[in-house]
Chains A and B, each alone.
Chain A
Amino acid sequence: MSDNSCSQSGLIQEFLDAQTDKMLKSRLDAHLKECPTCRKEFAEFESLFQSLGKSLKIPETCPDSALMAKMRKEVAAKRPDSKDSPLAWFERLFAVFFRPALVLAVVLLIFSFVIIRSRSTLKPDMTTPVLSHSSLNLEKNEVDVVFSLDSDSVKVGNKLIKVAELKSFEAGPAYALPESSVVVLRSDASKIKLTKAARFRLARNSFELLNGHADFSLKGDHKDFELKTDFATVSVIGTEFEAQVANNQLSVKLSGGKIVVKTTNGSVMQLDKPMQSVVVDRQGSFVEISETNKNGALPAVSGQPDRGPADSDSGGNLENTF
């Protein structure tokens, strides 16, 4: 096979492909004057191009009328704007309107399902007080935890707070507050005072004291409210009492009203006289029962409240550390 080593040889075929290019023609003319190899090749390619033009010329043909009619019919059936076929018109209508409407309907259905589900989880049981708002005020060293029957909002002091704001509070895992923080239950008059070391967890209608000391002052109807500890549950009926969890023991002292202490092993004791107190151990046994306490302190629980790591939070609960 021959090989034209001239760097300008590509110009020949390019020129023969587009002979109207004047720039190309002048460049090629200039080169051909100087290059005999390309002159010879130009003549050969020119002859080849002429021969290819003749040899590859395709004859003019036309589809017969039957084939034309068949193609017309097929195209008409497949065209989206075809007026010939009612079925095609319906398909177009489906594509333009029904398909997006169907997709929209499915999306709306899923969306409303999610909304209903989320509302149903937020909506409180009308017979049970639920935790509807918690707020943290570092300036006043206060934490307010409010139970309410109102599903939409709750009044804290003079401020009306929407339940939805609770979401922002749920994200916070733990808070360090000075002593004498105040937890408000249901009304401004019902308070639980917590020591600095107290750790608690709030469920739907219970206050779970994990560790530390809490003073309860609850007014009004709190029959659904319970104080829970690892060792015993204290049911409350309009009362004031103190509770302390430390060294694997729960100490409870009644100030007023009436409480029922039910331990984990099934023992039950009702305290209905002021200054009555009990101590419950880990096994759920009443280890000390005292009718009065002259200095007003809780029955002796040795050592300071534990400050161990927070227990893993159960779903929907809120745990704070003081």
Chain B
Amino acid sequence: MSDKSVRDCEPEQDKLLLKRFIAGEAQAFDSLVKKYWSQVYFVCLKYLKKPECAADAAQEAFVAVFSSLETFDFSRSFKPWLLKIAINKAIRLQRNNRSALSLNVEHAEVSDASYDPAGTFAGKQLLDDCLERLCLDDQILLMLRHSLDLSYEEMAIVLDKPVGSVKGELFRTRRKLKDALNIFYGKEVEAGV
């Protein structure tokens, strides 16, 4: 997780760059694209699976956002708005492609899990497998929180849901993930739950 003070400054820095772009400074566009390209690209990749499709969706999102800055509410943060538009673009492309598949961890069988007697979640391969078996919505929730460092409020904006719902879904997803990992490590049996 990044430092909170840095995170608090980000929205103001973004708005400054946006105002400079509106004033005609092309360099501000480059700065913002470079700053958020990775986040936008990987969110799109989560939906679309194919790198070239993700790049297309990310490109469309940036063009859409910078073409319609007149509709941007400067009292709000830029990042959630950008990610919301990116996700919408990705979902639209995903509908066209129909290539994305999702599995639910509750119904998945993990055959290559190795028991970790230390009782930690350090087994990265196992965690990655479990994450891949989560449904897409759960994966996006975790990504927004742990990869993109969004607050509950920002996640609510991106996903267009109430903050309480987002928070509840996030908590349930992480608990589901923890329980799945516990099963694979046999901790559930040890605890006698």
Binding site for B on A (CB under 8 A): 1-3, 10, 13-14, 17-20, 40, 44-45, 47-63, 67-68, 70-72, 74-75, 78-80
Contact = CB atoms under 8 A, between A and B. Distances in A.
Contacts, number: 101
B29 A57 contact: no
If over half of A's interface residues share one DSSP class (helix, strand or loop), that class is named, otherwise mixed; here it is helix
Given A45-B178, A47-B120, A58 B147 contact: yes
A72 to B, nearest CB: 6
A117 to B, nearest CB: 42
Contact of B39 (A44, A49, A58, A75): A58
Interface of B: 1, 4, 26, 29-30, 33-34, 37-39, 41-42, 55, 58-59, 62-63, 66-67, 70, 120-122, 124, 127-128, 131, 142-143, 145-148, 151-152, 167, 170-171, 174-179, 181-182, 188, 191, 193
B143 A20 contact: no
Nearest to B193: A2
Q: Among the interface residues B131, B146, B179, which one has the most CB atoms of the partner chain A within 10 A?
A: B146
B150 to A, nearest CB: 10
Given A17-B145, A78-B67, A54 B179 contact: no
A72 B147 contact: no
Contacts of B67: 74-75, 78-79
A21 to B, nearest CB: 10
B146 A52 contact: yes
Q: Among the interface residues B1, B66, B121, B191, which one has the most CB atoms of the partner chain A within 10 A?
A: B121
Given A2-B191, A17-B145, A51 B122 contact: yes
A20 B5 CA distance: 10
Contacts of A20: 4
